[in-house]
Copies of this chain bind each other. A is one copy, B any other.
């Protein structure tokens, strides 16, 4: 019979997305067999994240400082603000290094199914940032899902009264996408947004 410590660790790991009870048990055994090379580094990394990371009170990013590295970077263009659903989206866009402005993390998306309402997201904070001025463009970079697009529509309505340009990411064929394999929704978007050949 496994000890209560092992049960507790198995349960904590099983709650991670992508791991179920069986894979969590396998992960625990992996850690137990590799105390020095796997368990100790994971423990240290978790501890560091727990001790040092804070949520940026301006944009919602997670970083060692508040304001975060993105918000406090003077080379960034404060006039462009990119609104994303999750911190992961901020990181994804930041990895691409294509957006020179700042970010705003909503912390989720509107969802009737999951009961997530506007007041559950950082929407009032977004409105206050825009209200404070200095922003020319707001990029609504929601996911291309029904809920993401619903959220974008809602946000566009909330901020249309401000003198800012409201844009959203283009929808269409992904790089390498083959027509034959793409879903009809993507094809419809790509066709609707077709552009003249230069």
Contacts and interface: CB of A to CB of B under 8 A. Distances in A.
A37 B64 CA distance: 20
A32 B64 contact: no
Q: Is the contact region of chain A dominated by helix, strand, or loop, or is it mixed?
A: helix
Given A47-B43, A91-B2, A27 B35 contact: no
Interface residues of A, number: 53
18 contacts: A1-B91, A3-B53, A3-B63, A3-B64, A9-B46, A12-B41, A16-B19, A17-B26, A18-B18, A18-B27, A28-B49, A29-B86, A29-B87, A31-B49, A39-B50, A43-B43, A43-B50, A46-B46
A6 interface: yes
B32 A26 contact: no
B27 A16 contact: yes
Contact of A27 (B17, B25, B52, B91): B17
